[in-house]
């Protein structure tokens, strides 16, 4: 049985390493324009797009969860993380009003959206339902 998420135990054990872990998995993606965002959501049959901000505590708690989901997907779906401070046009194009926001695109069309923290198992099963 796999476990994805952020239990209090997980954070206590990784509190000192959390910053380096987050920086390792959260490579900010800077898109040059809306056309690039459109290309990104069409880059794979299924794409998970997360909009976050580095200063957002909810986004920071989701960092290891998204990293685990990405690892478990093992390339079956593209996982992109966009910092809204660096990608304002893309956030506006996706009509993102709150963070973290998770959008799943299937064949370039939005199929699902969630705003706020979400359990890793729920996020993974939602992505897998579109594969």
At residue 36, the pLDDT reads 79
Distance separating alpha carbons of residues 130 and 115, to the nearest angstrom: 19
pTM confidence score: 0.77
Domains located in the chain, CATH noted: 10-129 (3.40.30.10)
Q: Which residues pair with 102 in a beta bridge?
A: 50, 114
Confidence at residue 120, expressed as pLDDT on a 0 to 100 scale: 94
| Confidence (pLDDT) at 34 | 54
Which residues are designated catalytic?
56, 59
pLDDT of 20 reads: 32
Residue segments in the chain with a per-residue pLDDT below the cut of 50: 1-3, 5-28
Taking each helix axis from N to C terminus, what angle separates 57-73 and 18-25, rounded to the nearest 10 degrees?
60
């Amino acid at each position: 049985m796999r476990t994805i998420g952020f239990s209090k135990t997980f954070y206590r054990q990784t509190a000192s390493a959390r910053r380096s872990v987050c920086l390792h998995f959260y490579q900010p993606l800077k898109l040059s324009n809306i056309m690039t965002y459109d290309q990104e959501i069409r880059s794979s049959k299924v794409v998970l797009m997360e909009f976050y901000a580095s200063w957002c505590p909810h986004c920071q708690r989701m960092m290891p969860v998204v990293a685990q989901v990405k690892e478990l997907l093992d390339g079956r779906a593209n996982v992109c993380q966009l910092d809204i401070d660096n990608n304002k046009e893309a956030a506006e194009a996706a009509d993102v009003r709150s963070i973290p926001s998770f959008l799943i695109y299937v064949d370039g069309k939005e199929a699902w959206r969630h705003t706020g923290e979400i359990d890793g198992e729920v996020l993974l099963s939602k992505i897998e339902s579109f594969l």
